[in-house]
Amino acid sequence: GIDYSATAVALAQERVAPTPWASRCTFLLGAITQQELSGKIFDVVFALDVFEHLSPNELQGLLRTILPWLKPNGRLIFHTSPNRHYYSVSYRIVWTLSLLLSRGQVPQDARCDYEKEMHINELTDAELRETLRQAGFAFEIKRFGLERIMETIKQARFWPYVQRSLSRLTCLPSVRSFTNSDFIGMAAQSHDVLDKYYRLQPGEAIALDHPFFFH
Q: How far apart are CA 215 and CA 209, in angstroms?
A: 13
Measured CA to CA, the distance from residue 110 to residue 106 in angstroms comes to 8
What does the pLDDT read at residue 204? 53
Cβ-proximal residues to 148 (8 Å cutoff; 6+ apart), any chain:
82, 86, 181
For 99-138, write each residue's pLDDT tens digit. Answer: 888 777 889 988 889 889 999 999 999 999 999 999 999 9
Q: Name the residue among 40, 47, 48, 46 with its Cα closest to residue 73.
A: 40
Q: Are 137 and 188 in contact (CB under 8 A)?
A: yes
pTM of the model: 0.84
pLDDT for 203 beyond 60: no
| pLDDT at residue 215 tops 70 | no
Contact 202, 191 (CB under 8 A): no
Q: How far is CA 213 from CA 88, 118, 140, 184, 205, in A?
A: 27, 27, 13, 9, 12
User: Quick one: DSSP state of residue 160?
Assistant: H
With 70 as the cut, is the pLDDT of residue 208 above it?
Answer: no
Residue 201 reports pLDDT greater than 90 = no
CA dist 95 and 146 (Å) reads: 16
Q: How does residue 211 score in pLDDT terms, banded at 50, 70 and 90?
A: very low
For residue 206, pLDDT over 60 is answered with no
Residue 84 has pLDDT above 80, yes or no: yes
β pairing state of 2-3 and 182-188: unpaired
